[in-house]
Amino acid sequence: MDTTLPVYDSAALRTPIITELRNLWVYRGLIRLLVTRDLTTRYKRSVLGVWWTLLNPLLTTGVMWLVFGVVIGSRFGQTTEPYVVYLLSGVIMMTFFSQGFLATAAAITGAGGILTKVYVPAEVFAFATAISTAVNFLISFGALIIIQIWAGVGVPLTILLAPVPIILMLALIVGLGLTLAALAVYFYDILDLSRVLVQLVYYLTPVFWTLDIIPDRFHGLLRFNPLFSYLELFRDLAYRGIMPEAWVWLIPIGSSLVFLALGVWLFGRSWKTLVSQL
């Protein structure tokens, strides 16, 4: 039996990405457990329970629809498609992004009580949190499909490809979350800063406004915001039934891979300092 003992060698080299992938596989049982725990304990003391996951984006959309669709009127709502569908699809994608990104980064500091007493690779907590926001997203995606049918847009066949932008978004969230967690070791303020930046990005992305209120010459500039193309990709596939152009695919694929690699690399470099400061 002794030859098969697991061995911890502090001098063993950590191969970036390979080590993380192996950890995720070894700890898959824990990830599954953390995700279900997160989903079941979040609303444990509330009356409506898990229904809040469904209600939250619907209420946000309701408020925005009232403000931008009804009160301010056509200034924002110049769409050939039903504004409610346009709005809800944007809201759930951006909520997925902002909550997922911030929660993933916070997951590592939040697990400090465990990480300083029991050995668990820290990225496992980040990944589990990202997955549970993805599950929440899927629930609200269900709400979107119902609204689509109700608003008469229907469900196009391209929806079968909608998991692609969702998975790319998950990769982006994990990458940015790990980057943020790694940077927060050196300057804690970045957590507060990124909360503000996420707000800014929310307004710079066409969630509740449409492209045609922006002068044409700025449209090229808008493409520098990667989230714009995640949203376009998702909307095209989820309800417009359009096969998106190449550039719409390229930016999400490229940016998610770049940020995922950056996050894993930065995290791998700083995890030693990170655990000693929890």
157 closest CA partner among 237, 232, 271, 40: 237
Segment near another protein (CB under 8 A); pick from 62-70, 137-145, 173-181, 183-191: 183-191
Instruction: For residue 246, state whether it binds another protein (rule: CB under 8 A).
Output: no
Rounded to a whole number of angstroms, the minimum distance from the CB of residue 19 to another protein is 13
- Residue 35 or 231: the one with the smaller Cβ distance to another protein is 35
Spatial CB neighbours of 147, under 8 Å, sequence gap ≥ 6:
84, 85, 88
Query: By CB under 8 A, which span of 9-17, 129-137, 201-209, 255-263 interacts with another protein?
Result: 9-17
The residue from 47, 189, 196, 220 that contacts another protein (CB under 8 A) is: 189
The window from 30-38, 162-170, 228-236, 240-248 that contacts another protein (CB under 8 A) reads 30-38
Here's the x/- map for another protein, 102-141, by CB under 8 A: it reads as: -----------xxxxxxxx---------------------
Nearer to another protein, 121 or 165 (CB): 121
C-alpha dihedral, 88 to 93 to 98 to 100, nearest 10°: 130
Residue count of the chain: 278
- Nearest-approach distance from CB 188 to another protein, in angstroms: 7
198 touches another protein (CB under 8 A): no
Give residue 31's identity as a one-letter amino acid code: I
What is the Cα–Cα distance from 53 to 81, expressed in whole angstroms?
25
Give Cβ neighbours of residue 13 (< 8 Å, ≥ 6 apart).
Answer: none
CA 215/CA 7 separation, integer angstroms = 62
Q: Which residues contact 217 (CB under 8 A, 6 or more apart)?
A: none
- Figure out which of the listed residues 41, 47, 215, 217 binds another protein, where binding follows CB under 8 A: 41
CA dist., res. 84 & res. 65, Å (int): 7
Round to whole Å and give the CA distance between 265 and 16. Answer: 6
- Does 204 engage in binding with another protein (CB under 8 A)? no
What residues contact 257, with CB distance under 8 A and at least 6 apart? 171
The answer to the question of residue 276 lying near another protein (CB under 8 A) is: yes
Find the part of the chain contacting another protein (CB under 8 A) among 99-107, 182-190, 213-221, 227-235.
182-190
Summarize as ranges the residues that interact with another protein (CB under 8 A): 2, 5-11, 29-30, 32-33, 37, 41, 44, 113-120, 186-190, 193, 272-273, 275-277
